[in-house]
Structure 1
Amino acid sequence: MNNQPHDEAYRRWRASLATLLADASSLAQWQERRYRFAHRVGALLTEAQGGGPAMAGPVLYGVFTSGAGLCYVGQTQEAERRLRDLPVGESHHLANTVPPELWERVVVLRWPLLLPAAPEGERTVAAGAGPGVCGLALEHVLQVQTAPPLNSRRRRTTGDWQPRNLAHSRSRGAVHSRSMPELSQLALTAWADLSGREAPEDSAVVDTGTGRVVFPSALHEPPGT
């Protein structure tokens, strides 16, 4: 495998950061600019937008880049907290590897709104499992179907990475997902609809009620600002 283009890009990245962090004043400007951008993304992900309510409670979410596509899929029971922190990266690893400045879109699905359309038996299963386990089950289904690269490997203490066989997982989410096939399909269909949305000309957000798509790529400031 030829790593020369990758190595050269890595050297350019380090050189760019060295310029941006050349002195204390530059470091402060870099910190301020990065947080300003991350804060805007977090606000669009959580606050009321486009006539839709504020994002709160259980959701599935995923981050796309223009090159790699869907990079990561997750779930949370506290969208109001987790999604605001997602681009900041203080308690979430994603932004450390894929900076929010490179995110093309973030898809958020309010999966509890799909429950009324699920069969009664699956609604009973979901109610018994609770939103935490149900969220894990739908997260598992979505990860298996889309195979995001950052969900498909795990870090090892030896300093390298180990592939994860998501389809053969024995996690709580994987086990419970088998008892909610129709709800899982509803989630996959809603996810596909949201993922295919285009950015509006005058906004960085699309809110369908069932979910939301935020386009960080539409927020970049012109050079010199």
Structure 2
Amino acid sequence: MTTTGAGSTGKPGRASGLAALAALMADETRAGFLLALLDGRAWTAGELARHAGVVASTASEHLGKLVAGGLLTEERQGRHRYVRLADARVAQLVEDLTARAGPATAELPRTLRESSAGSAMARGRTCYDHLAGRLGIALTDALTVRGLLRQDTGFALTDAGLHWFAAAGIDLDRTGRRPLARACLDWTERRTHLAGTAGAALCRHVLDAHWCVRIGSERAVKVTPEGERRLAELLGIEATALR
């Protein structure tokens, strides 16, 4: 008797579930929506439609599939429908797949504006709720060099690191199931930066304190003069590494 691949594993549902997830992300418009939502904010269907260059009905159809597939959550306020990534695990999946795709799949910028936006994203951006790009790498390297973060056995804050976050006034919520520190592969730098609870807390702090500000309509951020001064004081990072 001939057996199928699914039958031989005894878990046909797992294979079909993986195939369904891959199919959800295999459409370029839906992939574009997921990448846009990596900024961690909620977007309206209209905003995502304009971002992707599709009509509202097309955007609505794609968003319905992403919500049904568990990759997005939605809420309605009056006439507006807002969507965001379902959770940090979805963000990690999207960022990891983007890094795996590599730069060879990226289109060359067609205009000076696109080129400038791409440079800004590579310099510093949010990756869902933590910092990425050269800024994220600079912060991760500084924490590691000072013995506040270990990378030799996976990402982990040291005791000194826990004290540093407390002394800097950065609250670490350790009540949830999310890892305190996690490595996230950066798709522009091809290196890992700090994610997890600590990465999210650090990102939230630098934005709330206006050490960094968002720029443009993408996920790009830049360090302010106050941020340069404070990060130099706290981590010894030279301003040139933050620009």
Same fold (TM over 0.5): no
TM-score normalised by L of structure 2: 0.25
Normalising by the residue count of structure 1, what TM-score does the alignment of the two structures yield? 0.27
